Amino acid sequence: MITIGTRKSKLAMWQTDTVARAWQLQGMETRICGMETKGDKILDTSIAKIGSKGVFTEELEGQLASGDTDIAVHSAKDMQSQLPPGFCLIAFTQREKVNDVLVSDDASLNLDDTSKILRIGTSSVRRRALLQHYYPHLQAVEMRGNLQTRIQKMRDGACDALMLAYAGVKRMGYDPMIVKIFPEDAFVPPVGQGCIAIEAATTLAPEKREAIRSCLNDPDSESCLLAERAFLKTLEGGCSIPAFALAVLEGEEIRLSGGLVSLDGSRIVKTSKTGRRTEAEAIGSELGRSILNNGGRELLLEIRRQQRIDSDTTQEE
């Protein structure tokens, strides 16, 4: 028997059911415990302004620590770059396509048409910044909530289109609504996009940990995620900063591209590193240091200063 903790959203449950089915195919039983996290409950504030790490994971980690659950299933992109003491990621599933996409009921939308100001809904500081860099004539609109909620808000007139991850859109069956797939070399995804991560407490029995890992872990995804997460850890970042990174395997080598964009999209610091996949974490750390030493450190300070100002302004209002 394995007990799985998860958020209650439809996408989170889809991911959890996928993990449970893989385990059941091995002849094992599963039990699923769903719950809401802080990030699910606070929908009127951007993630960057909520003011704590692990907005989608803290409550699930409480269950892991108490032993109520054996593992927690997460979207890898929601995981903070450094987990709290006592927790670890033990597996990464096979990765879906990593691209950002534009979703709308209007298939005729053209982002290059500067004569019309389109409103694009997103909750991501990275997507907002990249939109301002590549499409400065567009208007980004803050949009929180699960996928179904966002689509309803769009249909109610809150925006003209939504910018989302391809993986979630496909998994929820909304891929016929995709009107544009953004190229991954320009709109580089956030760390972990398209992958499911399995978290456990370090106190989980070694034999159970190894059984879960052998059933669920995809070695190629793991190599890429180790590199990307090491990059983000070096930047001391999470989903509240507009950082991006994508690792791609080329035989026994891994190529990691990553960087940082200013909140207003005016500046991008970006580079890449290549090395052996066995050195994935070292490559990620090296790339992070390169970004910091070539303008990224100053840019990070500016981003965090601006976010503090925005947060203070929101509290005053």
| Annotation says 21 is catalytic | no
**CB-CB contact of 182 with 100 (8 Å):** yes
Q: If you ran DSSP here, which 8-state letter would residue 93 be given?
A: P
Answer yes or no: 77 catalytic.
Answer: yes
Coil, helix or strand for 32?
A: strand
* Active-site annotation holder among 40, 78, 100, 160: 78
Contact 78, 240 (CB under 8 A): no
d(C-alpha 218, C-alpha 41), whole Å:
32
The amino acid at 35 = M
| Catalytic residue, candidates 127, 128, 233, 277 | 127
Helix (H, G, I), strand (E, B) or coil at 87: strand
Whether residue 126 lies in the annotated active site: yes
| 139 token code pair | 């208007």
The angle at the Cα of 67, spanning 194 to 74, to the nearest 5 degrees, equals 10
267 catalytic? Reply is no
What is the arrangement of strands in the sheet containing 87-92, beginning at the earlier edge strand?
Answer: 30-35, 2-7, 71-75, 196-201, 87-92
Question: Exactly one of 126, 128, 233, 277 is catalytic; which is it?
Answer: 126
Please indicate whether residue 213 is annotated as part of the active site. Answer: no
In the set 7, 128, 144, 171, the catalytic residue is 144
- Going by C-beta distance under 8 Å and a sequence separation of 6 or more, which residues neighbour residue 67? 201, 203
Q: Using CB atoms within 10 A of its CB, is residue 312 exposed (0-12), middle (13-18) or buried (19+)?
A: exposed
Q: One of 40, 95, 239, 277 is an active-site residue; which one?
A: 239
Could you tell me how far CA 34 lies from the centroid of its own chain? 20
**297 in catalytic set:** no
Q: Which long-range contacts (CB under 8 A, 24 or more apart) does 65-68 make?
A: 65/201, 67/201, 67/203, 68/3, 68/5, 68/33
Active site residue 153: no
User: Catalytic residue among 7, 150, 171, 233, which?
Assistant: 150
Instruction: Map tokens 């960087």 to a residue.
Output: 259
Residue 85 CB neighbour total at 10 angstroms: 6
Q: Which of 77, 128, 273, 277 is catalytic?
A: 77
Active site residues: 77-78, 126-127, 144, 150, 239
